[in-house]
């Protein structure tokens, strides 16, 4: 068995080595600071604390309660709201809390974005090019009757007028904004007003953009009409992999608490609550500067790709107002393949991105395995200290691999050399002790 442990360690070390020489552009990812890592590696990872703070099922929760209370207060401060539940263990779990609170089980009605147009897999069934629906997602497991917002493909956003017609006809119990492809703020204010007409509650899945929102960018859903926002804590928020629900409605506090426990989980991941508290302190201190640069880098990267012949979506709108960039790669199909092919080519050179369905892929017979889109995000590279100049460098790597067809092994060497200067995490306290000194001020 010792050899098995050694094998596992060897694999982990190899992964760390590769990542240290790679350009990470997955929009769903970020990196945690040494202070967050220390909190996540604490004894909290061994413990149980079912229930709400002060109402635990288990003994031994004195210090756990203190940290969780601090985490909730920090979350409320960052998102300017009156309620925060930091117990959900993922963004999907946080979404389920909203479904549980705002819809009826079995044939409750909800409106979301369809997956090919940017919706997340936890929102709705996936429809194939033949019209079949693949069920088993969070919304369908709950038995919800789901219809889709109308979508404006040119502007990569919801179509307000057509969506309003669907809302009035369908009369959903819940509207859920937000998505997995999320370039621009959603029309929460306009459509939440229509939702109120039919008695709908308004949810917002802010998993991708929560950090941008907390730092004052992108949009402010809780002031624009959302009753509650769910999110994961490890994308534009550089925290551990966990989830949260926030609301600024006093009258919904008990409904949201009861929709979470004991309905959906027993114990939650206490070490990640501690880590998230530290990440929130970092963002209260550094978030304004960090997230400004995240958005600037995304826009600069998009422009640099466009200059090199890539069809970056929504040039007429400035490409993006978030951390994401989406490229329609179909014009390179004969030369380099579609999204899945290009994802593999880039990975051979240690550039990590993901293929992504675009709104027109399903009707053109393409699947998620090899769609016409690729998606990139700038949260992690920004946290590693990269700026606009480096966005040009990365775009040049894309050109070498996809346009010029340079051998990936050769470009991989250039990528490793480029990455040497970007090994230290920025926008955080450089020691755990410093982070804890700042924690007491919040």
Mean pLDDT of 329-341: 90
Q: Are 30 and 237 in contact (CB under 8 A)?
A: yes
Look at strands 174-177 and 201-205 and give their pairing. parallel
Q: Is 334's pLDDT higher than 60?
A: yes
Q: What is the mean pLDDT of the chain?
A: 93
The token duo for 212 is: 């941008």
The token duo for 210 is: 């929560």
- φ/ψ of residue 407, rounded to 5: -60, 130
DSSP 279: H
Q: Is 441's pLDDT higher than 60?
A: no
Residue recorded with tokens 């809780």:
222
Domains along the sequence of the chain with CATH: 35-282 (3.40.640.10)
Query: 76-132 pLDDT, tens per residue?
Result: 999 999 999 999 999 999 999 999 999 987 778 999 998 888 888 888 776 655 555
The token duo for 235 is: 């994308």
Mean pLDDT of 269-286: 97
Secondary structure of residue 327 in the 3-state scheme:
strand
* Whole-number pLDDT of residue 364: 84
Whole-angstrom Cα distance, residue 101 to residue 261? Answer: 11
Closest Cα to residue 221, out of 205, 201, 243, 197? 205
Q: Strands, DSSP E only, in 123-223?
A: 126-127, 133-134, 145-148, 151-152, 157-158, 174-177, 201-205
Closest Cα to residue 355, out of 2, 11, 27? 27
Report the range of poorest mean pLDDT among 103-107, 136-140, 313-317, 382-386: 136-140
């Amino acid at each position: 068995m010792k050899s098995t442990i050694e094998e596992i360690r060897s694999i982990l070390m190899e992964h760390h080595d590769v990542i240290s020489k790679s350009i990470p552009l997955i929009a769903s990812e970020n990196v945690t600071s040494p202070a967050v890592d220390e909190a996540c590696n604490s004894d909290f990872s061994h413990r149980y604390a079912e229930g709400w703070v002060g109402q635990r099922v288990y003994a031994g929760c004195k210090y756990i309660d203190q940290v969780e209370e601090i985490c909730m207060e920090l979350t409320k401060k960052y998102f300017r709201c009156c309620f925060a539940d930091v117990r959900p263990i993922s963004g999907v779990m946080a979404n389920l809390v909203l479904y549980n609170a705002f819809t009826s089980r079995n044939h409750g009605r909800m409106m979301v974005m369809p997956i090919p147009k940017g919706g997340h897999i936890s929102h709705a069934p996936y429809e194939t090019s033949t019209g079949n629906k693949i069920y088993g997602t969070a919304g369908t497991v709950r038995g919800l009757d789901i219809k889709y917002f109308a979508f404006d493909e040119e502007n990569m956003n919801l179509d307000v007028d057509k969506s309003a017609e669907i809302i009035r006809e369908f009369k959903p119990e819940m509207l859920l904004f937000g998505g997995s492809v999320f370039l621009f703020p959603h029309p929460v204010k306009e459509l939440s007003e229509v939702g109120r007409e039919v008695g709908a509650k308004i949810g917002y899945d802010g998993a991708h953009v929560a950090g941008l929102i907390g730092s004052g960018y992108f949009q402010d859903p809780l002031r624009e009409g959302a009753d509650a926002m769910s999110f994961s804590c490890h994308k534009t928020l550089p925290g551990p992999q966990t989830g949260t629900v926030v609301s600024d409605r006093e009258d919904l506090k008990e409904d949201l608490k009861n929709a979470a426990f004991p309905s959906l989980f027993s114990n939650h991941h206490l070490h990640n609550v501690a880590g998230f508290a530290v990440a929130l302190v970092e963002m209260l201190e550094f978030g304004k500067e960090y997230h400004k640069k995240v958005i600037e880098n995304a826009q600069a990267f998009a422009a640099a790709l466009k200059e090199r012949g890539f069809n970056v979506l929504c040039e007429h709108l400035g490409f993006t107002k978030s951390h994401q960039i989406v490229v329609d790669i179909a014009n390179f199909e004969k030369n380099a393949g579609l999204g899945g092919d290009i994802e593999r080519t880039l990975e051979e050179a240690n550039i990590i991105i993901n293929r992504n369905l675009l709104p027109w892929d399903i009707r053109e017979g393409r699947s998620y395995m090899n769609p016409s889109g690729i998606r990139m995000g700038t949260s992690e590279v920004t946290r590693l200290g990269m700026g606009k100049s480096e966005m040009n460098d990365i775009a040049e790597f894309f050109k070498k691999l996809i346009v010029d067809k340079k051998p990936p092994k050769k470009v991989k060497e250039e990528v490793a050399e480029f990455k040497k200067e970007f090994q230290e995490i920025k926008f955080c306290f450089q020691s755990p002790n410093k982070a804890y000194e700042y924690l007491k001020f919040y």
